[in-house]
Amino acid sequence: MSHPVKTTPMLDQYYRLKAEQPDALLLFRLGDFYELFGPDAELAAPLLDLQLTSRDGRVPMCGVPHHALHQYARKLLEAGYTVAIAEQMEDPALAKGLVDRQIVRVLTPGTVIPEDDEGVPRLAVWYRDRSGWTLAVAELSTGTVHLVEGGLAEGDLEQLQELWALWHPDEFLSNHPLPFEVTSRAVTADGWFQKVSPLAVEKYLASAFHSVSLKSWGIDDPAHPRLAPVLWALWRYLESLQRRSPRHLTQIVWHALGGSVRIGPTQLAQLDIVDGPYSLYRHLDLTATKMGSRVLREWLERPLADRAAIESRHRRVVWLVQKALVRDQLREALAQVGDLSRRVARTVLGLARPRDLAAIRTALSRIPTIAALLVDAPDASGLDPEDTDWTELATLLDGLIDPPPARWDDSPLVKDGLDPEIDQQRQLLRDQRERLALLEATERERSRIKSLRVGYHRTYGYYLEVTKSQAKEVPGDWQRRQSTTHTERYSSDALRELEHQIQSADGTIRARERDWTEKWLQAITQSADRLTRVSRRLAEWDALNALAEAMVRYHYTSPQWVDDAAPVVIEGLQHPVLAQHLEDYVVSDLTISPPCRAIVITGPNMGGKSTYMRAIAQNVLMAQIGGGVAARRFQMPVRHAVLTRIGADDNLVRGQSTFMVEMEEVAAILRQAGSRALVLLDELGRGTSTYDGMALALAVMERLATADGPITLFATHYHELTDLAEQHPHMTNLTVEVVETARQPIFTHRVIPGRASRSYGIHVAQMAGLPPTVIARAKAYLKELESRHPSAAAPAEQITLFAPDPIWEQFRQSLLALNLDDVSPREAWQWLQQWQARLGGK
């Protein structure tokens, strides 16, 4: 890149590093700040709300404090920029001439490691050839790579889109345009997917995985021909950014299409599964660690669809339920393990601080305890023996002082007694500081200046300080070093000799502590693959322990899995979250016996239809992640998909109405709804005319209610669907119970067999606080419409309201419907004004 003709050695160094990453904003370490120069500074200053300055009046610059690097870098990343970090590679105090600086890492949206331990940035690599595609989604902050493969059929590409939306990569590489729109940041793929021999790829990946062969990873399996180029591109790209190998990125998690419950982000949102303060995830998240919490969320987003795997996981949960002491001790030990996976990732990527190593040391000390607690775990699912012995690494890390300092350049780092040379130099420092105190006393007595003191300045070193009024009394062998407003500072031969000895001892200590730091970091890096593996196992046990704690705390029961031909039986069903917040929660039941496959649910608004369906779906997902259920009895075949259309949405960006979005979602449901799916539809067809909506609802229900159709629950206000259910062999009716009283109907919120007689919409409107005059008019209109359509057939699309009956009859009905005790004077005046206008008055 071009730069000003007149420059300095430091700016030359900056421009040389900038040329290495011309597309990135370069943050250049200068002392306690990271500085940007030239065009980078002009671009970044307004984004970071910084003031532009200049050292020479020509080159603009701005800077951020080193301790706030992450927060400023995140702003630049969110603005769409790449950020390169140039660090000082040597101690400025020891450097001869210009301090050596190098770019140590490049930050991008998918590879940044959050400082706040929240969120998991993801980098995706998608590779397609003539026979199919492979997707790798890397989580650099946890050491995990998610892998999935598929063909080019429409169904496989549809599942790819669902997985992409679920993982939502922040950044991606691909050798072919994706078959759908994405908002992730695309990386230019030139060079990352260049052709190379299989042998070269295997050699490179074997080095990356630190193994002689790739058979244990399944990478050389002919059934996965695209896997090697995908991982090869992934590793090379990460190494180019991190300037080191991501040695911890070895936790490979395979996701077979159809191997987990098919549920997309839209369904997860509609069912309140993972997001929001009252989500199922928040309710179940009784984990002791952040990494356990992440695994629990992962399970809820991708529940198991294999009965054997579900039952195996649930056996471990029940085992923990039965062992209260183990459960409590496990939670206590895991809390001390903390977020081990992220600590390891930070160390491997050169971002660790002393506290990270101290946390890893603490975690290693708890692993033997956890292994002992899990020795009798079912299905031999405890920790592997090779993952329990960390004596060598723990002993090495035990040399780090406790508690550790905040930064590596703070001292002390090494415990006393670990390094004889450090101990010797520390003793010298202690002796020399005593000699400083003795020198101060000697010079005070010799000069007879009682206010004399010995001080220290980072630039000028040690000095003898006196007030300006006493400067004339200093001994002749002192040398002036600095003047301040009120004092004069001097040195002496004895002080300089002592200062040299102190600096020498301090330098020796720092050099030895840097050696120990390198040993600690290198040892963790070399064990990164084992540490990442054991972190995953501990995180899974943390999630299992949380599910067990939930079963105990909320009195959940174990689900019973049956064959597809068996009936669905749920007794005492509760919504897992709401039941814990409502003292008078009313339970309901559900029975679906063959040949029935579909349920039509009618009842009043606010009666609980949607809550009932969400309760069923949430319990299904809880059961299929291996947990308990909020019901006395829960018997169901394993579901392979949960497909929903609940709530009203529109898409303003794409110019789609609520009805259009609804129809697109229903179309997707009809394509995906196999016999092992659970389908939940709420108020289908509301966005169009009555006849259109009813016709679509009838047609959709007939399509789903077949002998080999999914289990379907359809909540509706179209009472005509209940007629269909009474005649259809694969359908039946449920309704929300309403107790009619002389004063007003009472909604019990219990779902029972049968059909609703009416919708109670006006009653709900009254409960919502609509003015009594509006309620009265609505009742009058309702009575007129019911008298005109007594058969409960489909009401006409447009109805002439006044022609059949005299307007005075309407007035009489409206007047009789008024409860004068509930009408304010203002509302009575408005009611009279409306009728006066209708009767021809002014």
Q: What is the pLDDT of residue 812?
A: 73
Phi, psi of 627 (to 5 degrees): -90, -170
CATH topology for the 123-257 domain? Nucleotidyltransferase; domain 5 (3.30.420)
Q: What is the pLDDT of residue 655?
A: 44
Task: Determine whether 447 is exposed, middle or buried from the number of CB atoms within 10 Å of its CB (0-12, 13-18, 19+).
Answer: middle
Q: What is the pLDDT of residue 791?
A: 47
Can you list the alpha helix ranges (DSSP code H) found in 687-824?
690-704, 720-727, 761-767, 772-788, 807-817
- Rounded mean pLDDT, 320-347: 96
pLDDT tens readout for residues 168-180: 999 999 999 999 9
Mean pLDDT of the chain: 86
Q: What is the pLDDT of residue 256?
A: 86
Q: How confident is the model at residue 361 (pLDDT cuts 50, 70, 90)?
A: very high
pLDDT tens readout for residues 213-260: 666 666 666 778 888 888 889 999 999 999 888 988 888 888 888 889
Classify 220 as helix, strand or coil.
coil
Tally of CB atoms within 10 A around 714 = 28
The answer to whether domain 420-508 has CATH 3.40.50.1820 is no
Q: What is the pLDDT of residue 433?
A: 79
Highest mean predicted confidence (pLDDT) among 72-81, 85-94, 219-228, 491-500: 72-81
Tally of CB atoms within 10 A around 158 = 17
Residue 109 confidence (pLDDT) above 90:
yes
CATH of domain 560-764: 3.40.50.300
Examine residue 412 and say whether the peptide bond preceding it is cis (omega within 30 degrees of 0): yes
Q: How confident is the model at residue 517 (pLDDT cuts 50, 70, 90)?
A: very high
Task: Determine whether 92 is exposed, middle or buried from the number of CB atoms within 10 Å of its CB (0-12, 13-18, 19+).
Answer: exposed
Q: What is the pLDDT of residue 84?
A: 96
Instruction: Give 3 or 608, the one with higher predicted confidence.
Output: 608
Of the given ranges (305-309, 319-323, 471-475, 658-662), which has the lowest mean pLDDT?
Answer: 658-662
- Rounded mean pLDDT, 728-745: 78
Contact criterion met (CB below 8 Å) for 567 and 635:
yes
Q: How confident is the model at residue 128 (pLDDT cuts 50, 70, 90)?
A: very high
pLDDT tens readout for residues 778-813: 777 667 766 765 544 444 333 333 344 456 666 777
| Strand runs labelled E in 38-90 | 53-54, 60-65, 82-88
CATH topology for the 9-107 domain? MutS, DNA mismatch repair protein, domain I (3.40.1170)
pLDDT tens readout for residues 647-688: 655 443 344 567 777 788 888 888 888 999 999 998 876 666
Phi, psi of 777 (to 5 degrees): -65, -40
Of the given ranges (77-91, 462-476, 757-771, 790-804), which has the lowest mean pLDDT?
Answer: 790-804
Q: How confident is the model at residue 740 (pLDDT cuts 50, 70, 90)?
A: low
Of the given ranges (141-145, 342-346, 433-437, 659-663), which has the lowest mean pLDDT?
Answer: 659-663
Distance of alpha carbon 156 from alpha carbon 226, whole angstroms: 16
Element (H, E) at 832: helix 825-838
* Token pair listed for 731: 């359908």
Q: Check if 420-508 and 560-764 are the same fold.
A: no
At which residue do the structure tokens 């196992």 appear?
537
User: Interior CA angle at 494 toward 491 and 499, to 5°?
Assistant: 75
* Token pair listed for 491: 């040195």
Tally of CB atoms within 10 A around 556 = 24
Three-state helix/strand/coil letters over 31-51:
CCEEEEEHHHHHHHHHHHCCC
Residue 151 confidence (pLDDT) above 80:
yes
Contact criterion met (CB below 8 Å) for 807 and 839:
yes
State what percent of residues in the chain have pLDDT above 70.
Answer: 88
Q: How confident is the model at residue 639 (pLDDT cuts 50, 70, 90)?
A: very high
- Rounded mean pLDDT, 520-545: 95
End-to-end CA distance of the chain: 80
The length of the chain is 842
* Token pair listed for 105: 């890492």
- Rounded mean pLDDT, 544-566: 96
**Domain map (residue ranges) of the chain:** 9-107, 123-257, 280-401+522-554, 420-508, 560-764, 771-838
CATH topology for the 280-401+522-554 domain? MutS, DNA mismatch repair protein; Chain A, domain 3 (1.10.1420)
Q: What is the pLDDT of residue 531?
A: 95
Q: What is the pLDDT of residue 795?
A: 40
Alpha-carbon separation of residue 97 from 27, 32, 90, 275 (angstroms): 21, 18, 11, 55
Note the pTM of the prediction, 2 decimals. Answer: 0.84
